[in-house]
């Protein structure tokens, strides 16, 4: 059989399966490279580098092995991994930046900064000057041996209602689906705020390896291996005092229904209210209105507040 008869039978699925079996990226990016001396041009494939197996299993496995190696090598370091100048710069960033209370830009170039004044219903947050170090406290035994303990912590979101063993609500009518969805959407920002607060409370740049996974109720929770021993009381204080405020335009009242839907207008190149002919506000315009409302009423509550639940598992 000739090659011409065989080649048409090689489909994209066959090539992807072969590449996956050989550990080769199945979604490579092709870059055109030109030799400036000779003028010759050729294509160079570059791995996509995805961390998701659903996108590219070989690249995801490669990144997984890399993270495992980084974890093994970094976990046992007894010296600082960077220069003193870099450590001081990063320490200043950890101490000064505010990650959690200015949400609302959703991709806007200019970041909108909200008030960072702490909520009155949140416990006080312990705070120490952040030192330029990443290594936790070292303990020395009477025989001279030195120990640098570590911890494993699991952080969960609050309860939204009782669930069955399969994760479905016992009483769907009383289960707080809205809060569960909003908490899941903004969970990454809450986690960012947690590490920021923990570094401020312990006085050093806490390092960790962590993974997020869904519970049976599909709410995300965080498993973290943390370098250094942190008092449990401090941990609980930080978790109780950590929150993230969402400053979005109000979305708790339906404006349009099936009987009254917006329509697309070619004149304004956007959706308009069919009843009034007014264009629907963009996301940026909605945030501008929110800013104006906050100037008029500084006590206006945020659209949503995300907090951790009371369940906290600490080991080590």
Please write the tens of the pLDDT for every residue from 247-290: 998 888 888 888 889 999 888 888 999 888 889 988 888 899 88
Query: Which of 19-33, 107-121, 232-246, 290-304 has the lowest average pLDDT?
Result: 107-121
Tokens, residue 260: 């009254």
Give yes or no for residue 35 having a pLDDT over 90. no
Give yes or no for residue 7 having a pLDDT over 60. no
Place of tokens 């996509």: 48
3-state secondary structure the chain: CCHHHHHHHCCHHHHHHHHHHCCCCCCCEEEEEECCCCCCEEEEEECCCCCCCCCCHHHHHHHHHHHHHHHHHHHCCCCCCCCHHHHHHHHHHHHHCCCCCCCCCCCCCCCCCCCCCCCCCCCCCCCCCCCCCCCCCCEECCCCCEECCEEEEEECCCCCCCECCCCCECCCCCCCHHHHHHHHHCHHHHHHHHHHHHHHHHCCCCCEEEEEEECCCCCEEEEEEEECCCCHHHHHHHHHHCEEEECCCCCCCCCCECCECCEEECCCCEEECCCCCCECCCHHHHHHHHHHHHHHCCCCCCCEEEECCCCEEEEC
Sketch the domain layout of the chain as residue ranges: 12-76, 81-248+302-315
Tokens, residue 64: 């997984």
| Residues 6+ positions from 199 with CB-CB distance below 8 Å | 94, 95, 130, 205, 206
Backbone Cα Rg of the chain: 26
Average pLDDT value for residue range 65-83: 78
- What is the chain's mean pLDDT, rounded? 83
Res 94: pLDDT: 46
At 96, the pLDDT band (50, 70, 90 cuts) reads: very low
pLDDT tens-digit map of 141-193: 888 888 888 889 999 999 999 999 998 999 999 999 999 999 999 999 999 99
Tokens, residue 51: 């961390």
**pTM for the structure as a whole:** 0.73
Count CA atoms within 13 Å of residue 15 on its CB side.
10
Please state, in angstroms and as integers, the Cα–Cα distance from residue 260 to each residue in 168, 251, 283, following that order. Answer: 33, 17, 21
Residue 142 in contact with residue 136, Cβ under 8 Å? no
């Amino acid at each position: 059989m000739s090659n011409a008869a065989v080649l048409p039978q090689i489909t994209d699925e066959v090539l992807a399966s072969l590449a996956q079996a050989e550990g080769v990226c199945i979604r490579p990016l092709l870059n055109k490279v030109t030799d400036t001396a000779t003028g010759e041009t050729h294509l160079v494939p570059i791995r996509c580098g995805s961390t998701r197996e659903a996108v590219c299993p070989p690249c995801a496995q490669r990144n997984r092995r890399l993270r495992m190696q980084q974890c093994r090598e970094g976990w046992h370091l007894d010296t600082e991994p960077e220069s003193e100048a870099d450590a001081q710069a990063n320490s200043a960033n950890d101490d000064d930046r505010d990650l959690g209370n200015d949400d609302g830009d959703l991709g806007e170039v200019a970041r909108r900064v909200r008030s960072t004044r702490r909520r009155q219903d949140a416990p006080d947050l312990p705070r120490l000057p952040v030192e330029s170090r990443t290594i936790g406290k070292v303990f020395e035994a009477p025989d001279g041996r030195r120990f640098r303990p570590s911890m494993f912590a699991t952080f969960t979101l609050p309860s939204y209602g009782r669930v069955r063993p399969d994760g479905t609500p016992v009483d769907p009518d009383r289960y707080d689906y809205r809060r569960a969805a909003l908490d899941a959407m903004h969970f990454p920002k809450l986690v960012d705020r947690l590490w920021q607060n923990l570094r401020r409370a312990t006085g050093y740049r806490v390092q960790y390896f962590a993974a997020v996974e869904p519970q049976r109720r599909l709410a995300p929770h965080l498993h973290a291996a943390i370098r250094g021993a942190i008092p449990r009381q401090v941990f609980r204080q930080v978790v109780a005092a950590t929150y993230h405020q969402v400053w979005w335009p109000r979305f708790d009242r339906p404006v349009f229904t099936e009987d009254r839907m917006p329509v697309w207008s070619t004149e304004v190149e956007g959706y308009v209210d069919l009843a009034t002919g007014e264009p629907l506000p963009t996301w940026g315009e909605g945030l501008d209105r929110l800013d104006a409302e906050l100037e008029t009423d500084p006590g206006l509550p945020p659209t949503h507040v995300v907090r951790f639940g009371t369940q906290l598992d600490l080991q080590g």
